[in-house]
Structures are given as structure tokens and as C-alpha cells.
Structure 1
Amino acid sequence: MNGEQAMNNEAKELIIFLDCGDTIIDEGTEVRDEHGTVIEGRVIPGADEMVRTLAERGYRLAIVADGLAQSFKNLLTINGLYDYFEVLIYSEQMKAEKPHPRMFKAAMGAMELGEQDRSRIIMVGNNLSRDVRGANRVGITSVHLNWTSRYPKTSLDPAEMPDYTIEQPLALVELADRLNEELAMKKRVQA
């Protein structure tokens, strides 16, 4: 492994929370059983590569998603992505849905992150009223994945304005690297 590869695999400053439906898994491909649990579904083009690349580069990843725990376990396992996530927070277990702060705070707690770490976290999701509003509400950088037409792509509500917008999953890799470098530079200046 050369020096650049070793540097790419070091733990990163930036921490990434990801929604699942229409952020990793194409909700239009989901198949549910008679109880409403999702039993299969396909990834959005490039989403599997995005997750693997981010994990391989040393980013800490968490799922913060609304729905049934078993649905996400099925989807992420079938698509070979389950083990890339350090933490999986689902609305079923939290008894709350995004944009409720409990969802984001639970992920922070499970990753042993405190208030001082909020500036290091980004929340990536497809839903302005849930993912972006929730992240903005708790002081986490919001990233809107503007991939699907199932949800509004714009909002007039300032609480739903994302800090960043990307059009496809793989664009997150470049954005994460850029934000991580900014955080690392800020840390070096403060040291």
C-alpha cells in the first residue's frame, strides 16, 4: 500500500449519517411481505459503490432511517451493504420518525459522539421535510440527494434548505472528501 492509499484509509474527521429509502435503496423496487416488511429491493445506481468507497476510505457510517428494523436489515444484507455501517438507527426502535431530534441524537450516542462533534456530521437523505429539516434542526450539516421524483425537490421553508445538494449517490464521495479535508485543515489550524 502506498502512502496515498494509507492516508485514504485512515479514520476521517467527517462522520456520515445516511437515510436508506431512495438514498441507498430504490423505493420503487421494494417488495413487501403480508406484514409490510420489505423483503427485497435494489440499490440506486451507484449507491452500493458509494457506501463501499466511503467505508474503505475510513468514513464512519450510520443508517438513520424511518421504517421497520427488519426491512432495513433485509435490504442492506441482500445488497451486501449491512456490514459497512457502524450504527443502524430505525424509527421503529426509537418510537419516533425524522425530523424528530431523537433519531439523530440516538445515532450520535451510539457512535459515542457529543455536542462538540455536530460540526463533523453530515446527514444525507432524499426527503427535505424529514432528512434535511431534522439535520438542520439539530445542527448537523444537511445533504439532499435529489435523485427521485417521489418527493419534493425544492422547498420554500428555510428549515428545509439543505447545506448541499447532490444529484446521484457517487457525488457524495467527492463531497465527503472535500468536507473532510476542510475539517482536517481546521483541526490543524486549531492545534
Structure 2
Amino acid sequence: MNAEEKELIIFFDCGDTIIDEGTEVRDEHGTVIDGKVIPGADVMVRTLAEHGYRLAIVADGLAQSFKNLLTINGLYDYFEVLIYSEQMKVDKPNPRMFKAAMAAMELDEQDRNRIIMVGNNLSRDVRGANQVGITSVHLNWTTRYPKTSLDALEQPDYSISEPLALVELADRLNAELVSNVKEC
């Protein structure tokens, strides 16, 4: 079942946004070889994909770690694009991470208003999205990272406390985009 493609495009961080970092198991080289999704994250990803949203991973870490985690949890194939700091040679909030995801999805400057970045880290995910003009969504789920903004660039546009809340937010933001397109 594949719904009609939506206007809204969703970029995701992985650790503590989809995968619970507290469950990660690493090999002797530091590559993550196992880990569990945070409650509801697997259902969130599947539901968004089934609703027709284009999904991308924009995450800091090793490509093989994310491939392992997303494959083990049955989520790898839901993502159209996977951008990792290992391949980019920079970490978020560096704009190159977000611009690489946009380029890989054949998006340009005019598409920024259609993209949201969902992440758990204010200084990386939220700051990075805000710096490049992408709507930021803070998944305020973990206690591992600060939950208060240090400055304006770390202030999220939206905040959710659990993954499944993103489905309703995405549908609402997509409806706003669709109505704005019709008005033009």
C-alpha cells in the first residue's frame, strides 16, 4: 500500500530519535552491531512511509552502524536517502550534511520550506536545520541530551515527546503545505 506522495519531506537523526542509544551493542572497532528502536519509532517510520512521505536519514556516525541498526529493526528500506557524517567528513550541525540529503533527493533551495528535520539533539539536529532554513522538530524523548535551548538557533520550531506524535504533526504540516500550494 503506497499512498500518494506528500509535499512534506522528513529528515531523521537516528540515535535516540529512531534507535535507543542505550541499547546499542558495539564491536571491537566501535561499529554498532545491535540496538533496539525507541518505543513507537518503528511504527512511526512505517506509518509515515505508508502515508507517502519521503524519508531520509541525516546522522552522525559510521555508515555500517546505521545499516546494521536499521536493517536489524526492519527499517532500512523505508529511507530514500541515508547521509552519514562518516561519508561527509563533517558532523551536524554542519550545513553540508543537510545540503547533501537535499541534493541526493533532488531538492533545491525552493524546497527547504517542505523539509522537516527530526532529531533529539538541540545543538546538532535543531541548530543544523535552523541554520539552513529547514523546519526543526525536537524529539524530546531522551535524558541523555539537554532539553533547553542555549541560543536562538537551538530553539526548535516544534517539539514532540514521543515518536508517534510525529505522524499527526507531519500530516498537519503537509496539509498546510498543500493548502499554501493551492492558494498560489
Alignment TM-score, normalising by the size of structure 2: 0.99
State whether structure 2 residue 98 is matched by structure 1 residue 101. no
From 58, 83, 90, the counterpart of 2:84: 90
Q: Deviations over 1:117-137 (max 9, x none)?
A: 000000000000000000000
C-alpha RMSD of matched pairs (Å): 0.9
**Could you tell me which amino acid in structure 2 is paired with residue 173 of structure 1?**
V
Query: Where does structure 2 lack aligned partners over 5 or more consecutive residues?
Result: none
Partner of 1:17: 11
From 120, 144, 151, the counterpart of 2:138: 144
User: Secondary structure, in 3 states, of the residue corresponding to 1:13?
Assistant: coil
State whether structure 2 residue 121 is matched by structure 1 residue 132. no
Partner of 1:121: 115
Cα distance in 1 between the residues matched to 2:150 and 2:133: 19
Residue pairs, 1:1-191, within 5 angstroms: 9-190=3-184
Cα distance in 1 between the residues matched to 2:74 and 2:30: 22
Q: Which 4+ stretches in 1 moved above 4 angstroms?
A: none
Cα distance in 2 between the residues matched to 1:138 and 1:108: 11
Query: Where does structure 1 lack aligned partners over 5 or more consecutive residues?
Result: none
Alignment TM-score, normalising by the size of structure 1: 0.95
Cα distance in 2 between the residues matched to 1:51 and 1:123: 14
* Cα shift at 1:80: 0.1
User: Secondary structure, in 3 states, of the residue corresponding to 1:185?
Assistant: helix
Identical-pair percentage: 83
* Cα shift at 1:156: 3.2
**Could you tell me which amino acid in structure 2 is paired with residue 126 of structure 1?**
N
* Cα shift at 1:146: 0.1
**Could you tell me which amino acid in structure 2 is paired with residue 158 of structure 1?**
A
Cα distance in 1 between the residues matched to 2:23 and 2:147: 20
Cα distance in 2 between the residues matched to 1:184 and 1:96: 34
Cα distance in 1 between the residues matched to 2:39 and 2:130: 27
Cα distance in 2 between the residues matched to 1:91 and 1:154: 25
Q: How many residues align?
A: 184
User: Secondary structure, in 3 states, of the residue corresponding to 1:99?
Assistant: coil
Q: Deviations over 1:65-112 (max 9, x none)?
A: 000000000000000000000000000000010000000000000000
68-77 vs 147-156, greater mean Cα deviation: 147-156
